[in-house]
Chains A and B, each alone.
Chain A
Amino acid sequence: MKTDIILAGVGGQGILSIASVIGIAALKNTLQVKQSETHGMSQRGGAVLSHMRISDKPIYSDLIPKGEADLILSVEPMESLRYLPFLAKEGYIVTNTAPFLNIPNYPQLDEVLKKLNTLERTVLFNADELAANIGSKLASNMVILGAATPFLNHINYESIQNGIVELFSKKGDDIININLMALQIGMEIANKVLD
């Protein structure tokens, strides 16, 4: 059993934190993990991408082959579409619908959302707004992670919760709790859509 996830976003949006939490949880479940990420020049407000692979068997390639990603998990709507060649035919897209506007030629948001809506298997929602509602816009990435939890096959929800506790352990209970709340909101939304 393997799960291949494309994590997408813009430099600084916190996709590496998402990867860290899933990674911690996968290892606690004694699964194999490989996770490649973008460093360097692209981090200056550029598109960032992480290939996250989880399996109960040895994983060879650090990169997910095209057409094999079970999930595109994105904190930005346009970025979720950039990696469509990687998505498996039966794969899902879970993405934030709030755009990250740092380029002058960002396409019309309506067009981006329209394109997303033409795809069958999607979970789309405004994670920034939901995170702001609980008092921390920064937790938007954890709302997205929450929405991914139904797709993580051999990693259960509790393991992800523990991953958050571990990752943010040095930052105090307030930060941990807000991120756990964000996770829960995301999970509930995804389950609603999937029903």
Chain B
Amino acid sequence: MQKVLLGVEAIAQGAIDGGISGVYAYPGTPSTEITEYIQNNKYAIEKKIHCKWSANEKTAMEAALGMSYAGKKALTCMKHVGLNVAADSFMNAAITGVNGGMVVAVADDPSMHSSQNEQDSRYYGKFAQIPTLEPSDQQEAYDMAYYGFQISEKFGVPVLLRITTRLAHSRSVVELNEKLAENNVSLPKNPRQFVLLPNFARIQYQKLIANQKNFIEASNNSKYNRYVDGENKSIGIVACGIAFNYLMENYPDGCPYPIAKISQYPISRKYVKRLSEETDKIVVLEEGYPIIEELLKGILEKENVSGRLDGTLPRIGELTPDSVAKALNLPTKYGWDIPEIIENRLPALCVGCGHHDVYKAMNIAIATYGDGRVFSDIGCYALGALEPYNSINTCVDMGASITMAKGAADAGLIPALSVIGDSTFTHSGITGLLDAVIENTPITIIISDNESTSMTGGQESSAKGKIEDICLALGVEIEHLHVINPVKKNHEELVSMIKKELAYNGVSVIIPRRICVQKNRRDVKLRKVNISNTKKK
């Protein structure tokens, strides 16, 4: 059977067909659609495969590990920076190993289309010392998710499946395999496997180290890695993941140089050695950081290796067929220059979005204190950094608005203001608020609540209906906790509310609450469909 799938959808379908019992994830571009595909897949719904969103990537990773502990196959997915949040769990899951198969699908975003950095998750695979898969196309994305669970169970460790934006959001035809059954519940054979007390952890770590040679062996024999010989030995090419396609785009009738196609790590020693022995110099094509290039080159530079480090390819950003062509001194084409009159069309807050009202009021309320004291966060409201508002001074990582405001207030920047969204608050803002409450730090926190995880497409927010209770439970004083509907007629009230709380020498929380306009539109549509379906019945 064939299906047309995005790279992310191919991973989802591969995991479903591979027999998962659950997916655990927090939305993040370009990984979001993996989980959404499973949520909407008929078979997955029938089988009651777990697919509800988690509060953050760490809770997701841990829940997946728990499902694996219980013997079933679990998928967890996130964007690259989400893996930072889940890193504690991820690194230690490599030590505990798995019982049921576990695949960690991570989508990197080179060129930062929708992200704050372009970190390369292959480092995490190397860091955790586990097998890492990097598909070159949609078919491999499907196959690797499918077989990833088998590799995981064979070696008893989680497997990292890394893709990048371009493959994540490009669709092509994928050939599907037969569906495998889910595992039954079964406890780990060794009752101490998951108990990482130092004594037991050392034993587990020894196992992981002893397993390394098996991982290398598996890479040497992997069907995703191969050596393609070429007549011209002046160059040998290492092509990792999607880079292989950009290479072949330039040589549709066959590449004259020998190629080591790499899609499973740790990198195959066999193919690299052969390239080194048979060719004059090595060019490394990899999407992301120059990891393999640096590895081959080494500090001593005994090997003639080029790639991103020596400027053969651009040091940053995603690869393109053109950049690969230039690296191999092939002629490239060009249409016409972009006319000078063309203006950038940056993303902007939607018309009617409640964040507009929040920033309008906030700018007035804070004006008397001077610039530079608004700490914001990851979400649509980060667009408040742009014209016409220029309202926020920071946007760093999930939850950093509250904690950075606290640190700045501790330094004497009083009052400091934090702007965070509802979903980001439950993702990583709660613990920071607790820190502030414990010290009664003079910060005002605006939780701009649109009852949705909007930037990634309006997923259900874990915060929905819970924010006031959470704040009160953490110790926010009820007189300094306010909820308001951010609409035009409440503008004056919102301004004076913010002003009043900025003047208060302690923690205040203001919750402007109005549903995301996009989410509302979709919800209304959904309700209409449901009503008409009910009528049909």
Contacts and interface: CB of A to CB of B under 8 A. Distances in A.
Contact of A66 (B33, B333, B339): B333
A65 B171 contact: no
Contacts of B173: 27, 32-33
A45 B350 contact: yes
* B interface secondary structure, majority: loop
B343 A41 contact: no
B485 to A, nearest CB: 22
A40 B30 contact: yes
Interface string A79-121: 1011111111101000000000011111110011001000100
A65 B335 contact: no
Given A32-B173, A40-B29, A107-B341, A87 B336 contact: yes
Given A35-B170, A82-B342, A66 B335 contact: yes
Contacts of A87: 335-336
A85 B336 contact: yes
B246 A61 contact: yes
Interface stretch (B320-328, B488-496, B501-509): B320-328
B535 to A, nearest CB: 15
B44 interface: no
B252 A102 contact: no
Nearest to B245: A60
A36 B166 contact: yes
B349 A35 contact: no
Contacts of A35: 170-172
B49 interface: no
B332 interface: yes
Nearest to A59: B172
A166 interface: no
Interface string B230-263: 0000000000001001101100100000000000
A47 interface: yes
Contacts of A69: 335
A43 interface: yes
A44 B383 contact: yes
Interface residues of B, number: 47
A192 interface: no
A29 interface: no
Interface string B9-38: 000000000000000000001101100000
Nearest to B333: A67
B380 A65 contact: no
Nearest to A69: B335
Nearest to A36: B170
Nearest to A42: B347
A63 interface: yes
A112 B342 CA distance: 8
A44 B166 contact: no
A59 B349 CA distance: 37
A85 B334 contact: yes
B237 to A, nearest CB: 14
Given A65-B322, A84-B339, A107-B341, A43 B333 contact: no
B169 A36 contact: yes
Contact of B334 (A32, A42, A67, A112): A67
A21 B348 CA distance: 28
B4 interface: yes
A42 B170 contact: no
B171 A81 contact: no
Given A40-B455, A41-B29, A65-B249, A89 B335 contact: yes
17 contacts: A39-B114, A40-B114, A40-B456, A44-B455, A47-B345, A60-B245, A60-B246, A60-B248, A61-B246, A66-B334, A66-B335, A67-B334, A84-B336, A87-B335, A87-B336, A104-B387, A107-B343
Interface of A: 10-11, 23, 27, 32-47, 51, 57, 59-69, 78-79, 81-89, 91, 102-108, 111-112, 115, 119
Task: List 9 tightest A-B contacts by C-beta distance, closest first.
Answer: A67-B333, A40-B29, A40-B114, A36-B170, A87-B335, A61-B249, A44-B347, A62-B170, A46-B347
Interface of B: 4, 29-30, 32-33, 113-114, 166-167, 169-173, 242, 245-246, 248-249, 252, 320-322, 325, 332-339, 341-350, 380, 383, 387, 455-456
